[in-house]
Amino acid sequence: MADTITKVVVPAAVGPAELAAGHAYVDDMELEGDENLQVGMRVEIKDEAGEFFAATVTGYRDHRWQLTLKP
Amino acid sequence: MPDLSVVWRDWGHRLTSGDDLLQFEVVDRNQVMLRSAAVSGLYRLIQDERDHPPDWQVLPLSCFAVTGPWTPSRLAEGTRFRAYRRVHVSTLWAAKFEVWPTATFTDATADPRNEVHYDLIVAAGENLIPVDELRSTAKPVRQAARERLRPLFEKVWALLGDEQPLDRPHEGSTMNPER
């Protein structure tokens, strides 16, 4: 029986500033509500152009999650 | 934790009625509305400076002035956008939309396009954003809240020109499970 690993996909804006900073941010209201994000979790960002970036959840404050982009 | 920030921009490009604004084509327009609602709180200091009442909120839409040096292709550098739409500033002003010169930052990193960055204010007013509903754990509640925002954005979307492809090589994706 094959294991299936499904990564959580979160929407976030990723532009030149985010790439330079190494971080993107997503508010709770931008999520579907069933992602159950936690610090340390590996996720995939789907940016506004529909492209995917690997990231890790690295912080949370005031309803906003910090996502650290994989280099 | 570092975060996002926005400031009023009193340097760089100044809009005239002959200018065009560019908005990148976002795949999911729900994402446009939710992003706007999500960053609304970042504009509180700017609103205070413009004497907006404390209970007013704004729905901003990020866009850029197209200039000689700042072509659509250059504005798209560092993004994965494939298309954009343009609108004459005079069209927005005629429809009574405000366009604010702003500069945006991720952590302390300035967006390199800040000198031509603007926020088109889709709407401003009291209790504009159903914040609690948009963050509800119940999907129907979230969806209903989103639909309350949609007519405000549709007024703007109706003014934007046709979708135009970006003339640049596609940079590819770092991770796309569909490929």
Domain regions of chain B by residue span: 4-164
- What confidence score (pLDDT) does residue A34 get? 87
B chain contacts of residue A17, beta-carbon cutoff 8 Å: 104-106, 109-112
Residue A63 pLDDT greater than 90, yes or no = yes
Is the backbone of residue A62 left (phi > 0), alpha (psi -120 to 50) or beta? left
Choices 3.40.630.10, 2.40.240.20, 1.25.40.10, 2.60.40.1930: CATH for A8-69: 2.40.240.20
**Which B residues in the span 50-109 are in contact with A, Cβ-Cβ below 8 Å?**
77-82, 104-109
- What confidence score (pLDDT) does residue A4 get? 61
Kindly report, residue by residue over A10-35, the tens digit of the pLDDT.
999 999 999 999 999 999 999 988 89
Does any CB of chain A come closer than 8 Å to the CB of residue B179?
Answer: no
Closest chain A CA to residue B29? A48
Closest chain A CA to residue B104? A17
Q: Look at B173 and A52 and tell me if their CB atoms are within 8 Å.
A: yes
Domain regions of chain A by residue span: 8-69
Best residue in A48, A57, A62, A69 to probe B by mutation, most B CBs within 10 Å? A48
**Contact, B112 vs B59, CB < 8 A?**
no
Kindly report, residue by residue over B39-82, the tens digit of the pLDDT.
999 999 999 999 999 999 999 999 999 999 999 999 999 999 99
- Calculate the CA B68 to chain-centre distance: 22
Query: What is the mean pLDDT, run by run of 10 residues, along chain B of 179 residues?
Result: 94 97 95 97 96 96 97 96 97 98 97 98 96 93 95 96 82 40
Q: Look at A25 and B4 and tell me if their CB atoms are within 8 Å.
A: yes
Q: Tell me the β-bridge partners of B62.
A: B119
Q: Look at B105 and A17 and tell me if their CB atoms are within 8 Å.
A: yes
Spatial separation of the C-alpha atoms in residues B1 and A68, rounded to whole Å: 12
Q: How are beta strands B20-24 and B83-88 bridged, if at all?
A: antiparallel
DSSP code at position B178:
T
Best residue in A9, A29, A46, A63 to probe B by mutation, most B CBs within 10 Å? A29
Closest chain A CA to residue B111? A17
